[in-house]
Structure 1
Amino acid sequence: MSLVALVSILVVSLQLNWVNGAPKVPCFFIFGDSLSDSGNNNNLITTAKCNFPPYGIDFPNGPTGRFTNGRTTVDLIGDHLGLPHYIKPFASIPEDEIMDGVNYASGSSGILDETGFQVGDRVCMNKQVNNHREVVSKIKNKLGSKNAGIHLNKCLYSIYVGSNDWMFNYFMRPTVMATHMIPGVYADELIKELTGQINTIISLGARKIILFGLSPLGCLPILNLVQTCSGFINGVLKDYNHKLKSLVYNYNSKHPGVKLVFINSMDIISANNLENLVRVGLKNTNQPCCGVAAECIPFSPPCSDRKARAYWDQEHPTEAANKILASRAYKAKMSTDTYPMDISALAAHH
């Protein structure tokens, strides 16, 4: 090959990389509940499923099992990372795509195995971690242990879980609340279980982990409050989030080579902070776009002002709200948005 031809190929290659942008990370693994689910509940026996209209009305592929009108927060973070496609659910991912990452998240699931039993089947965090172990084994078979380890060390891992442990268990089950009269005792139980799950994920090669704090669940429309939010519920969750942030600090200080990042979802998406939400276009912060029950009635017509609403159904945010969280999680606008760095810095961290 002539020098001129070689230079031409290099120039074209550089131009393509500049136009398309190389992904910031080679792979993205996702753990959590309905806020991240991309279809793992579709074939389960559960009332927590949404693979029908009007869900997905603004998603390129229509209804997929995402509990919103369009993209989830992790989908949007994938866009920021320059990933070539959205990460597919464990339940239906082709084996030739697992190298890019897998979405294990399951609607109604939680940190505790029992969480969400009221609605039927779900994939709890411990099962999600076991599913990841199965995927890692397949990746090792493809690449060999050493190369698989190198690959997995470069991936991002998202953990966005705990909402159902509080809403389904603590606040909706009197026996649980009676057993844990002090919310801090229950919070410590969740943190202990979650720590074990994170330890296993790390043992399977994770080195860059995103840990989302809980959003202001005291503002959910399903609570049907006269006022916009429950200060009591959000106060309990803020204390829990503080423990999550401490968990991140402890990991980063005691585990060299492992980096965790805490996302302050509570303050980024808070209906208490109406001025900030209105400023970015979310003028309706407490009325869902569809659904008189917890979730949208199949094939019911949704609202037309979806870009101006914070909530899609009674329990889940719109894509518009997800965009705010994803954007500030990826590139923090305030020092309180993330700790100790944002996702863009974590992706670049070596």
Structure 2
Amino acid sequence: MLLVSVLDLSTGPEIGFLPLLAVGPAFASLTGGIRRTMLVGVTALVLAMGLAAYNHLELRRAYITMGSIAGVTAASALATVGRRRRERELAQVRSVAEVAQRVLLRPVPRRAGHMRVAVSYTSAMAEAHIGGDLYEVVTAPTGVRVIVGDVQGKGLEAVETAALVLGAFREAAHDEKDLEGVSARLEKALNRRLSGEEFVTAVLAEFSIEETTMTLLNYGHPAPLVLRAGGEIEFADPDEHVPPLGLAVLGPEGPAPYSITFEPGDQILFYTDGVIEARDALGRFYPLADRVPLLKDDDPEAALESLRRDLIAHIDGPPTDDAAMLLMRCREPGLDLL
């Protein structure tokens, strides 16, 4: 408005810069409140009247200019009210989403049995902070049981399915004697809920308390990455690939459990496809195996945070898919980790 006033004083009434004073209240409605918008509008009107008198502007042109400024000010005030209302609604939605996330994806224990645990979750729904990826760690009588999965699709339906899977897993992990029993309970719960071609990829794992082995069941999910204490890396691929959870009707029967050694100092990273399928500006996938050195920090949470930041830097923009990572680090059984 100051610039318009200077231009009008410099050029005179012939060019007619005065209507541009309406830009002031129009822009004020984008960031300020209704009081600030009205104040800017009144200021624009005062400037318009003063400049009109200074330039001896004919009454018709002066009235049209001030009417335009008054109209824009009124519209801007109404727009400010609507913007503030939407901001409050968005804040409420975010608050509800955060509560839903805490219920759906409860904080995993930092220590489970002789394991240290860290988790990272990045949602493609930036405003909601929740999506279809899921994870859980449960300390059962036979050991530590874990699930990491990915629900087909996004949005509220994916969140609902994830909640169903997690609820069934939390109950079955305590009751069933082995992972096959846990997965059967999950399949049964999903068959009651899903229809058509909906499915959930998932990997289930059990860390034995008394043995240095880990048992896994993989339902069409990316193979976990194992980092040995000596620095070797391997992907815990299943011997045979089977359909995801929810597609049991397609056959074959569920996956056979397979075991790998998991000794003190070893780490295993569970993740969803949003990690390995993340692309940079050139379309290159995230090279997870090449980023293993980032996981060597003594603190698992710091190590996983370094990996998450590197993933975000690789994408260099908003994520297009949910990305969940769960890091398990083995320590000596009975070792005091406090």
Fold equivalence (TM over 0.5):
no
The structure that has the greater radius of gyration is 2
TM-score (norm 1): 0.34
- Structure number with higher strand proportion: 2
